[in-house]
Amino acid sequence: MSAMTRAPVPELLRRAPAVLVGVALVLLCIGAGVSAGSNGFGTSTLLQVAVVLGVLLVATWLRRFEFFLLAVLVVRPILDITKAGGGAAVLSSGVAALVVLGVLLWLAAQTNAGTLRRVSLLGRLLVLLLAVMTLSSLFSDDPVRSLLQVARLAAAVAVFLAVEQFAVTGAVRRRVLVACYSSALVPLVVGVLQQVFGFYLKESSGLGRITGTFLHPNAFGFYLVLLLVMGAAVLRHLDGGVRLLVGGVLVVGSVELLLTYSRGSWIAVIAGLVVVGVLQARKLLVLLPVGLIAVVLVSPSVVTRLSDLSQEETINGTPGNSFLWRISHWSEVLAGARGHEFLGLGPSSSDYLGDEVLPPHNDFVRMYVETGVLGTVVYIAVIVAAVAMAARALRSMPGAQLGRGVAVGAIACTTAFVLGSIGGNLISETVVLLYFFAFLALASSMTTRNPAAAVSEPGPAHALQGGARR
């Protein structure tokens, strides 16, 4: 009997560290909440939140890598709201660093265990693009700033490489989709509150534009474009709660996309939906024009947002609309790259070539100015490889199944991305790239046919142990 009463003591001692860590996390959460309520998102508050989030993500990574990456996909859009008003990018940068480190360690563990699948051509080209950008950074006038931009892109590439590896079954692909669409819940709720109460709106042409949890309505707009285009492609292949989630994001996201007044995103989503209609849902080709006519009739503010495109020049002689301004700005930025045609000026350098610190608003111009001919060729190769990969995935998925919808969505998202890149700054928006690359990786995972063992099993420590036993 005495032995029975003494038995639980070692168990309690064994669990004591976990209990203490849990208590510490709760206290940190309370402290961060109080600090945020009284001082806003200052550096001190952000550091406390970063510690809590970092510990939770590391613990999840050790337990099961798949859940770590899914958690990152769920929470990433929420983090940028802490940068509103010029706040520091502590959380987003910290999570990006955790993603890169976590994926590298996990891939090393899979290699050690002999379960690493062959990396696709698209994945290898993305790594090559990172290498070219890194090389260009070394010759930049500000190498630190350039390397930080490369590091942010590396987080999105890491997500691609990881999702491509572990999304080997329909169930796992479904979980990745659930994570991506769950990430929209908070931004959409914030967008509704912004529209209803009129706070944190960005003014353009006299219109209040919602931003959700993003810093700019254009970034929020294209994030919604990706979700709407992929959602239109996969909805028919879903059921139950997942179908309800994706359908809800489609409905609310469509309204909020309009309220971002992001004209580039409007063009991109239309193009993406047309691709979905051609490849899979011909009814969409009929419903889309009807919907556009209804939007124009019901929402005159859309016409207002488009009306300034007819103004060619202001009274001061400056470009009268953003499209003409972009063309003028592209010429100015391209002129600044003369003499650096091969490797460019270094990532992030194009933002500093005008009279003001402004991005080039064209990703092809950005890549040429920042990484030269070499980087531009690799960037174009990435886009071509993405379309070719998605088309191959589509051919390998006959019949009505989720994989086919994902492949169609990947082609449509790439089309939308290219159009959005012509007048936007998508390659520098890590949060946008994160979901674009995740969707591409879902399609790519269906084209790599050399699976080893199950790679979404418990975390890296288990994989390393398994490799040692081999």
pLDDT band at 468 (very low <50, low <70, confident <90, very high): very low
Q: Is the pLDDT of residue 31 over 70?
A: no
Q: Is the pLDDT of residue 305 over 50?
A: yes
Q: Is the pLDDT of residue 214 over 60?
A: yes
Range of 271's domain? 41-309+330-450
pLDDT band at 412 (very low <50, low <70, confident <90, very high): very high
Burial class of residue 208 in the structure, from the number of CB atoms within 10 Å of its CB (0-12 exposed, 13-18 middle, 19+ buried): middle
Q: Is the pLDDT of residue 271 over 80?
A: yes
In this structure, is residue 273 part of a structural domain? yes
Q: Which residue has the higher pLDDT, 94 or 141?
A: 141
As a whole-number percent, the residues of the chain with pLDDT over 90 amount to: 50
pLDDT band at 82 (very low <50, low <70, confident <90, very high): low
In this structure, is residue 405 part of a structural domain? yes
pLDDT band at 7 (very low <50, low <70, confident <90, very high): very low
Q: Is the pLDDT of residue 317 over 90?
A: no
In this structure, is residue 458 part of a structural domain? no
CA distance 413 to 276: 9
Q: Is the pLDDT of residue 444 over 60?
A: yes
Q: Which residue has the higher pLDDT, 204 or 176?
A: 176
In this structure, is residue 402 part of a structural domain? yes
**Most confidently modeled of 76-85, 416-425, 456-465?**
416-425
In this structure, is residue 26 part of a structural domain? no
In this structure, is residue 352 part of a structural domain? yes
Q: pTM for the full model?
A: 0.85
Number of domains in the chain: 1
Residue 204, strand partner residues: 207
pLDDT tens digit string along 323-381? 778 888 888 899 888 888 899 999 999 988 877 778 899 999 999 999 999 999 999 99
Tell me which residue has tokens 């239109």.
232
For residues 412 and 225, the answer to whether their CB atoms sit within 8 Å is no
For residues 95 and 53, the answer to whether their CB atoms sit within 8 Å is yes
- What number is the average pLDDT over the span 238-259? 96
Of 12-16, 50-54, 164-168, 282-286, where does mean pLDDT reach its minimum?
A: 12-16
What pLDDT is attached to residue 355?
72
What pLDDT is attached to residue 308?
64
What mean pLDDT is reported for the chain?
82
pLDDT band at 264 (very low <50, low <70, confident <90, very high): very high
In this structure, is residue 24 part of a structural domain? no
**Most confidently modeled of 99-103, 246-250, 335-339, 446-450?**
246-250
In this structure, is residue 319 part of a structural domain? no
